[in-house]
Chain A
Amino acid sequence: MGAIEYAIDNWDRLLEFALQHIGFVLLSIVIATVIGVTLGVLTYQRPTAAALVIAVSATILTIPSFALFGLGITFFGIGNLGPVIGLILYSQLPIVRNTITGLQEVDPAVVESARGMGMSRWQSLWRIELPLAWPVVLTGVRVATLIVTSIFAIAAYVGASGLGREIDRGLSNLGAAWAFDVVLTATVAIVLVALVLDVLYMLIGKLTIPRGVRS
């Protein structure tokens, strides 16, 4: 098959694109996690605010990425900045929603005993509630990562790096004999990147979820 031959002949090039892809996805996810968890922490005890934040982030996720990245050029020009901001926005729904759910699901008796022993609001949140909500938050982050790994491929048409470049190049030359192989190879590579990231999350979970709350 042509695609396999292409992959073997160009593995160093593909690896470089894959690493760029992973790099920008993880960069966006780290920033998105900080923002999303903060939004969750600020709203989980206020039902109206929580519903509003979830509704807004759900709405964002319905905007077609093709359109969002295109509009981004107006503000951020060509390159990676616009797409990274786009990925951060797309990540919000799973992260914010899981943070809110995770914090709300912490046993109220545990929180009451934490406060009852003299932990401040902040100490209770930081030492007790967030660690207990962490498995749920981490699942949200994992889902967000899967979503943006595929969305980032679209961003190549506004000049972003990553495996999307290859897909873009193939699709622009569809008449050529090699074009189909290039698109197929890059698509498979994105799926592999997603799998690698998923394994990474399994490891993070193993390392960060305390033994007492692991199921």
Chain B
Amino acid sequence: MPASEADPPAMIRLEELTKYYPGSDEPAVDAVTMDIPEGEIVVLVGPSGCGKTTTLKMINRIVEPTSGRISLEGEDVTDVDPDRLRRRIGYVIQQVGLFPHRTIAQNIATVPRLLGWDKERITERVDELLELVGMDPATYGPRYPKELSGGQRQRVGVARAMAADPPVMLMDEPFGAIDPITRDRLQNEFLRLQQEIEKTIVFVTHDIDEAIKMGDRIAIFGNDHRIQQYASPEMLLSNPINEFVDAFTGTGASLKRLNLTRVRDVALSDWPTAASDSPREELQRRLAETEHSFLLLLDRQQRPLRWISERDLARSDWTHHGGLKVRAVVEPHVTLHNALDEMLTSNVGVATVVDERGAYQGVVDIDTVMTAVNAMRAETRERVRVAPWHGVTASDVADATESRA
């Protein structure tokens, strides 16, 4: 299906792409048609054996398609020389596959050498790439792959894939074999990197949470080796097209959606505050004026200090250190999911938002979260009406929305 007018032009177009492996009656990939827009991360996700990896490997013809067409930048590449094609496409796999007998610098220089760049240009590019992935060229360039940690190897794998500045990168479970903490860091680093490099990226994973985090769009493959739904993460979570997608995105779909919004994107609620050095009578008067049972005390730099209640103020031994310590303080860049988590642990049921200097901005309460969820739902519905996505008709969405309401 061609992309709608609002979408960026397709960098990769797959048309009716099908693969039968020899000796199998069942296709590994069945008539996959999709447009992969320029500069976006498109995630292929699904259970094992669904055809997501085979689809990825047909794009650089590591696996030759049985039928169908592949276009890259508007050019039909289904039958061109695969070696030349691959030098235009970055490729990162789970096991990384660094060449153990070559240094890190030589590994990264692989494609530039194949393309016949001169030595000086290669050295410059290798240093630039190592810097880009946060590794010191002088330290790591001369090392061998076995001298690096798993996370460092994966970074080198990404740098190597970007060496000749290909417009397209294919990544097959690139963070799959890495411990969860390092994986999270590499994902964040990669997203930051992508903001700079703006490559067109096809990314395979079996982890729906990773898909939601990384993807501008997600294609969910089913056990029938076809795409079930191809849409933005918001769309998939709010309007799953069928039971398979619904089940695959999981019961926590609404909770996952909170990962897509950040505190800075929502309207914060107000909370009554007062300067911590105000006299007791004034604090009592302020508190009586509001319907809240706590007052938030701020210091001279507007930083939250204590929560105080009427009872604290009534105590004979009242000082400005009375009341409860302010916990659950978040900054605007955290996700609503994090904020909700903090909120639940806070003693007054709100997360306090501060700017980078620690000055009070407002609070996130349950109403803020609900408003944001409703707004997201409305926005997706609106988008469906304007630009139907792959295989989704407006009536499907209406049905799905009804049944959830």
Instruction: Give A residues with C-beta under 8 Å from B.
Output: 107, 109-120, 123, 128, 131-132, 210-213
Q: How far is the CB of A109 from chain B (nearest CB, A)?
A: 4
Determine if B138 is an interface residue (Cβ-Cβ < 8 Å). Answer: no
What are 22 inter-chain pairs, A to B, with CB distance below 8 A? A107-B95, A107-B100, A109-B96, A110-B97, A112-B93, A113-B93, A113-B97, A113-B157, A114-B110, A115-B62, A115-B86, A116-B60, A116-B62, A117-B114, A117-B160, A117-B161, A118-B85, A119-B110, A132-B99, A211-B144, A212-B100, A212-B146
The answer to whether A132 and B100 touch (CB under 8 A), given A112-B62, A113-B91, A116-B86, is: yes
Given known A119-B114, A120-B83, contact A110–B91 (CB-CB < 8 A): no
CB-based nearest B residue for A128: B99
Closest partner residue, chain B, to A106 (CB atom): B100
B51 interfacial by beta-carbon distance below 8 Å: no
Q: What does DSSP make chain A's interface, helix, strand, loop or mixed? A: helix
How many A-B residue pairs have C-beta atoms within 8 angstroms? Tell me.
Answer: 72
Given A113-B91, A113-B97, 4 additional A-B pairs, CB 8 A: A109-B94, A116-B91, A118-B85, A210-B102
- Chain B residues near A114: list those with CB within 8 A: 97, 99, 110
Q: Which residues of B contact A (CB under 8 A)?
A: 60, 62, 83-87, 91, 93-103, 110-111, 114, 144-146, 157, 160-161
Q: Using Cβ atoms and an 8 Å threshold, which residues of chain A touch B146?
A: 212
- What is the bound-complex CA distance between A132 and B102, given in angstroms? 10
B110:A109 contact, CB within 8 angstroms: no
B91 and A212 contacting across the interface, CB-CB below 8 Å: no
Residues of A close to B97: CB separation below 8 A: 107, 109-114, 116
B110 touches A117 (CB 8 A): yes
How far is it, in angstroms, between the C-alpha of A114 and the C-alpha of B84 when the chains are bound? 13
Beyond A115-B86, A116-B91, A118-B83, whether A110 also contacts B99 by CB under 8 A is yes
The docked-state distance in angstroms from the alpha carbon of A118 to that of B60 is 9
**Given contact pairs A123-B114, A131-B101, A132-B101, A117 touches B86 in the complex (Cβ within 8 A):** yes
Q: Which residues of A contact B111 (CB under 8 A)?
A: 117-118
Q: Which residues of A contact B103 (CB under 8 A)?
A: 212
Docked Cα-Cα span, A111 to B98, in Å, equals 9
Q: Taking each of A107, A111, A115, A132, which has the highest tally of chain B beta carbons within 10 Å of its own beta carbon? A: A115
Q: A119: which of B83, B95, B100, B102 is its contact (CB, 8 Å)?
A: B83
Q: How far is the CA of A107 from the CA of B96 in the complex (A)?
A: 11
Candidate in A109, A110, A120, A123 with the most chain B CB atoms within 10 angstroms: A110
Q: Are A118 and B99 in contact (CB under 8 A)?
A: no
- Is the Cβ of A213 less than 8 Å from the Cβ of B100? yes
Query: What is the bound-complex CA distance between A119 and B102, given in angstroms?
Result: 15
Instruction: With CB as the reference atom, state the residue of chain B lying closest to A115.
Output: B62
How far does the alpha carbon of A107 sit from the alpha carbon of B87 in the complex, in Å?
Answer: 21
**In contact, B87 and A212 (Cβ under 8 angstroms):** no
A117 & B98 in contact (Cβ 8 Å cutoff): no
Q: Hey, which chain B residues are within 8 Å of A110, CB to CB?
A: 97-100
Q: Which residues of B contact A117 (CB under 8 A)?
A: 86-87, 91, 110-111, 114, 160-161
Nearest CB of chain B from residue A131's CB, rounded to whole Å:
5
